[in-house]
C-alpha cells in the first residue's frame, strides 16, 4: 500500500491516473495500491492500458478493464498523471530480432508521447531500468546493451517533453524490486529463494563470484514517485537503492522466515563481482525529502512471501 499521507494527497488531488503496461508486474502492483488508496473512486479515476484489451484481476477481487495502448489518445482531456511502465523487457531482447525489438519499443514510446498533451497530462512517471547504465558497457551482453540503450532513449524523450511543455517528468532507474505480483520466479533470485523456502528445501546460492543486490519495495517506490510528481514542473531522476547485500545475505534473510531452512553458498572462485543496485544513500535522501522511511529487506521479504503463499 502507498504511504498513508501520500495516498491521502493523491485522493485529494483529483488527478486521473493513467497506467501503461498495466498487466505487467509493476503495473499490477501499482493498480493494487491505487485501488486501496482511491477505494470507491478507483474505477472512475484510473485508466489502464496495455498491449491488448483484457481483464486484469487484482488481489482484492477488483477487475480492471485494460484497453489497447493505441486507444490512449482517445481519452477525454482532463488533469492527468501518467505512470509509464509499458516496455518490451530484456528477455524479449534476447529472443526477438533486433530491428523488431527496437521498432516495437519505439512505437510504444511514440504512442504514449503523442497522447500526453491531448489527454491533459501534467506529469509522467517513467519506469526506466538500471540496465540504462549498461548501454555503453562493453562487458555487458548485446541484449543488455540494447535494452539499456532503448531505456536511455525513453528517459531522454520524456524528459524533453517535460522541458518543452513545462510539465513534470519523474524518471526512475529501477534495479531490484520486491512485493506483490512478482513474476518470472525462476529468473529473480529473491523469488526463487522464497519458493525454495516455502518448499522446505535448502536455499542454494550457486554463483561462483560475489553477487551484490539492493532491493526496494514496489509500494515504497511508487509512494516516492507520486510524491515527486506532485512537485513543481521540470525533470527529476533517481535510482532505486536498497542496502547492498551479497546473495548469501539475501538468502539468510529469506531462510529466517522458514523453520529449518538452511542456506548453501557455493565456493567463490572468480574474481570481480556481479553488482546491480543504485546508490543507497541518494535513494534514502530522496525518500527522506518526502518523509518516507525505507522498508527493511526483512519487511520486503515478508510481503513477497505473503503474495507467493497466496498461490500466485
- In the predicted model, is pLDDT for residue 35 greater than 90? yes
Q: What is the reported pLDDT for 135? A: 95
Look at the block and give the residue holding cell 497522447: 115
CA 200, 204, 206 angle in degrees (round to 5)? 165
- In the predicted model, is pLDDT for residue 312 greater than 80? no
Q: What is the reported pLDDT for 138? A: 93
Which pLDDT band holds residue 188 (cuts at 50, 70, 90)? confident
Distance CA 244, CA 251 (A): 13
Q: What percent of the chain has pLDDT over 70?
A: 99
Comparing CA positions, the residue from 158, 153, 155 lying closest to residue 112 is: 158
Mean pLDDT across the stretch 25-52?
Answer: 97
Scored b (16 or more CB within 10 A) or e, 50-76 reads bbeeeebebbeeeebebbebeebeebe
Q: What is the reported pLDDT for 81? A: 98
Q: What is the reported pLDDT for 311? A: 61
For the structural domain made of 4-178+215-241+276-292, what CATH number should be given?
A: 3.40.50.720
Which pLDDT band holds residue 216 (cuts at 50, 70, 90)? very high
- What's the pTM value of the predicted model, to 2 decimals? 0.96
| Domain layout of the chain by residue ranges | 4-178+215-241+276-292
Mean pLDDT across the stretch 207-213?
Answer: 96
- In the predicted model, is pLDDT for residue 33 greater than 70? yes
End-to-end CA distance of the chain: 18
Q: What is the reported pLDDT for 307? A: 95
Q: What is the reported pLDDT for 176? A: 96
Tens digits of residue pLDDT in 139-168 = 899 999 999 999 999 999 999 999 999 999
- In the predicted model, is pLDDT for residue 186 greater than 90? no
Dihedral sign, Cα of residue 274, residue 279, residue 284, residue 286 = negative
Distance CA 3, CA 114 (A): 32
Contacts of 59 (CB under 8 A, 6+ apart): 32, 180, 307, 310
DSSP-derived secondary structure letter, 275: E
Q: Do 220 and 288 touch, CB atoms closer than 8 A?
A: no
Tens digits of residue pLDDT in 90-117 = 989 999 999 999 999 999 999 999 999 9
Tens digits of residue pLDDT in 244-289 = 999 999 999 999 999 999 999 999 999 999 999 999 999 999 999 9
Amino acid at each position: 500500500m502507498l504511504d498513508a499521507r501520500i495516498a491521502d494527497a493523491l485522493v485529494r488531488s483529483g488527478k486521473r491516473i493513467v497506467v501503461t503496461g498495466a498487466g505487467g508486474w509493476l503495473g499490477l502492483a501499482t493498480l493494487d495500491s491505487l485501488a486501496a488508496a482511491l477505494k470507491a473512486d478507483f474505477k472512475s479515476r484510473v485508466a489502464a492500458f496495455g498491449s491488448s484489451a483484457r481483464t486484469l484481476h487484482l488481489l482484492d477481487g477488483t477487475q480492471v478493464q485494460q484497453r489497447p495502448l493505441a486507444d490512449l489518445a482517445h481519452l477525454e482531456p482532463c488533469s492527468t498523471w501518467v505512470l509509464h511502465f509499458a516496455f518490451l523487457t530484456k528477455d524479449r531482447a534476447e529472443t526477438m530480432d533486433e530491428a523488431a525489438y527496437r521498432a516495437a519499443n519505439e512505437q510504444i514510446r511514440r504512442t504514449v508521447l503523442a497522447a500526453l498533451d491531448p489527454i491533459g497530462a501534467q506529469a509522467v512517471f517513467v519506469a526506466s531500468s538500471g540496465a540504462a547504465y549498461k548501454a555503453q558497457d562493453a562487458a555487458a551482453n548485446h541484449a543488455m546493451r540494447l535494452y539499456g540503450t532503448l531505456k536511455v532513449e525513453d528517459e531522454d524523450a520524456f524528459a524533453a517533453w517535460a522541458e518543452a511543455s513545462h510539465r513534470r517528468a519523474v524518471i526512475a532507474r529501477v534495479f531490484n524490486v520486491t512485493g506483490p505480483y512478482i513474476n518470472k520466479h525462476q529468473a529473480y533470485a529473491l523469488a526463487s529463494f522464497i519458493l525454495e523456502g516455502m518448499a522446505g528445501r535448502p536455499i542454494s546460492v550457486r554463483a561462483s563470484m560475489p553477487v551484490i543486490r539492493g532491493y526496494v519495495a514496489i509500494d515504497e517506490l511508487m509512494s516516492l514517485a507520486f510524491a515527486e510528481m506532485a512537485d513543481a514542473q521540470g525533470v527529476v531522476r533517481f535510482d532505486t537503492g536498497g542496502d547492498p547485500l551479497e546473495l548469501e545475505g539475501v538468502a539468510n534473510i529469506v531462510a529466517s522466515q522458514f523453520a529449518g531452512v538452511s542456506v548453501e553458498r557455493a565456493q567463490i572462485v572468480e574474481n570481480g563481482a556481479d553488482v546491480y543496485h543504485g546508490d543507497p544513500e541518494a535513494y534514502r535522501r530522496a525518500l527522506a525529502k518526502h518523509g518516507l522511511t525505507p522498508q527493511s529487506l526483512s519487511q520486503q521479504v515478508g510481503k513477497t512471501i505473503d503474495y507467493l503463499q497466496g498461490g500466485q
